[in-house]
């Protein structure tokens, strides 16, 4: 078994991915409500989502560098 499955950072990355997916689903469900909010609140919402995606991307970088784990390669095998 790959030693990556013994590291908490791997599971934190998975949870973060599911939470991002949940946020996207909620965004799609509530799209009409989101489009009518004030521009300032919309900017804040977009920036928060951008930070979450950026942190998830950095988590991918850490997993690739430390554990040689690249989930994109599994699609090409």
Q: SS3 string of the chain?
A: CCHHHHCHHHHHHHHHHHHHHHHHHHHHHCHHHHHCCCHHHHHHHHHHHHHHHHHHHHHHHHHHHHHCCCCCHHHHC
Residues of the chain with pLDDT > 70, as a percent, come to 96
Report the predicted TM-score, pTM, of the whole model to 2 decimal places: 0.76
pLDDT at 64: 85
Residues 6+ apart with CB under 8 A from 59: 9, 12, 13, 16
Pair 68, 3: CB distance under 8 Å: no
Ranges of each domain in the chain: 37-77
pLDDT at 1: 55
Q: What is the pLDDT of residues 45-69, one digit of tens each?
A: 999 999 999 999 998 888 888 888 7
């Amino acid at each position: 078994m790959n030693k990556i499955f013994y590291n908490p950072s791997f599971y934190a990355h998975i949870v973060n991915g599911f939470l991002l997916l949940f946020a996207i689903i909620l965004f799609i469900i509530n799209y009409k409500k989101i489009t009518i909010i004030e521009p300032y609140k919309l900017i804040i919402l977009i920036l928060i989502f951008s930070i979450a995606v950026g942190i998830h991307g950095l988590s991918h970088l850490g997993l690739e560098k430390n554990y040689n784990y690249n989930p994109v390669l599994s699609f090409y095998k």
